[in-house]
Amino acid sequence: MKNDLPQVFRRLRAADLLKTAICILGLFSISTVSIADDFETAKLKNWHQWRGPNATGSAPFGKPPLKWDDKTNIKWKTAIPGVGSSTPIVWENRIFLLSTVKTNRVDSKKPKPENQPRRFWGIKFPNRFQKFYVVCVNRQNGLILWKTKVRESVPHEGTHPYNDFASGSPVTNGKFLYASFGSNGVYCLDMQGKVLWKRDLGKMKTRRSYGEGTSPALYKNRLVVNFDHEGDSFIEVLDATTGKTVWKNERDEPTSWATPLVVEHHGVAQIITNAKNFTRSYDLNSGKLLWQCPGQTLNSIPSPIHQNDVVFCMSGYRGNAAFAIPLSKRGKLSATNDPRWTYNKDTPYVSSPLLYQNTLYFTKALSGIMTAIDSRTGAVQIPRTRLPELETVYASPVAAGDRVYFTSRKGTTLVIAHRGEFKPLAINKIHDPMDASPAIVGNQIFLRGQKFLYCIEELTTK
For 285-341, what is each residue's pLDDT tens digit? Answer: 999 999 999 999 999 999 999 999 999 999 999 999 999 999 999 999 999 999 999
Give the pLDDT of residue 142.
98
The answer for 58, left when phi > 0, alpha when psi is -120 to 50, beta otherwise, is beta
| pLDDT surpasses 60 at 12 | no
Give the pLDDT of residue 159.
97
> Which amino acid does the sequence have at 210?
Y
How many C-beta neighbours within 10 Å does residue 312 have? Answer: 30
Is residue 297 within 8 Å of residue 317, measured between CB atoms? yes
Q: Mean pLDDT lowest for which of 36-40, 78-82, 207-211?
A: 36-40
* Secondary structure (DSSP) of 211-276: ---PPPEEETTEEEEEE-SSSSEEEEEEETTT--EEEEEEE------PPPEEEEETTEEEEEE--S
Nearest 5°: CA angle at 300, between 125 and 324? 165
| pLDDT surpasses 70 at 9 | no
Is residue 349 within 8 Å of residue 298, measured between CB atoms? no
Give the pLDDT of residue 415.
98
Give percent of the chain with pLDDT exceeding 90.
90
Which band of pLDDT confidence, cut at 50, 70 and 90, is reported for residue 181? very high
| pLDDT surpasses 50 at 28 | no
With CA atoms as reference, report the closest residue to 269 among 288, 296, 248, 242. Answer: 288
The pTM for the full model equals: 0.91
- For residue range 242-293, list pLDDT tens digits in order: 999 999 999 999 999 999 999 999 999 999 999 999 999 999 999 999 999 9
Is residue 57 within 8 Å of residue 353, measured between CB atoms? yes
| pLDDT surpasses 70 at 106 | yes
284 contact partners, CB below 8 Å, separation of at least 6:
219, 222, 224, 237, 262, 269, 270, 271
> Which amino acid does the sequence have at 411?
G
Which band of pLDDT confidence, cut at 50, 70 and 90, is reported for residue 31? very low
In this prediction, residues 86-107 reach a mean pLDDT of: 97
Give the pLDDT of residue 37.
63
- For residue range 356-408, list pLDDT tens digits in order: 999 999 999 999 999 999 999 999 999 999 999 999 999 999 999 999 999 99
C-alpha to C-alpha distance for 323 and 326, rounded to whole angstroms: 10
For 359-432, where are the E strands, in sequence order? Answer: 359-363, 369-374, 380-386, 398-400, 403-407, 412-417, 424-429
Give the pLDDT of residue 349.
98
| pLDDT surpasses 50 at 25 | no
Looking at residue 58, the DSSP 8-state letter turns out to be: B
Dihedral sign from CA coordinates of 49, 51, 52, 56: negative
Whole-angstrom distance between the N-terminal and C-terminal Cα of the chain? 90
Give the pLDDT of residue 115.
95
Work out the burial of residue 90: count CB atoms within 10 Å of its CB; fewer than 13 is exposed, 13-18 middle, 19 or more buried.
buried
How many C-beta neighbours within 10 Å does residue 67 have? Answer: 14
C-alpha to C-alpha distance for 305 and 53, rounded to whole angstroms: 12
Give the pLDDT of residue 461.
60
Is residue 426 within 8 Å of residue 415, measured between CB atoms? yes
Give percent of the chain with pLDDT exceeding 70.
92
| pLDDT surpasses 50 at 20 | no
Which band of pLDDT confidence, cut at 50, 70 and 90, is reported for residue 409? very high
Q: Which CATH architecture has domain 44-457?
A: 7 Propeller (2.130)
Nearest 5°: CA angle at 448, between 55 and 140? 90
Which band of pLDDT confidence, cut at 50, 70 and 90, is reported for residue 460? confident
- For residue range 60-94, list pLDDT tens digits in order: 999 999 999 999 999 999 999 999 999 999 999 99
Measured CA to CA in angstroms, residue 93 lies from 136, 169, 456 at distances of 10, 18, 15
Average pLDDT of the chain, as a whole number: 93
Q: Where are the domains of the chain?
A: 44-457
Is residue 346 within 8 Å of residue 320, measured between CB atoms? yes
Element (H, E) at 106: strand 94-106
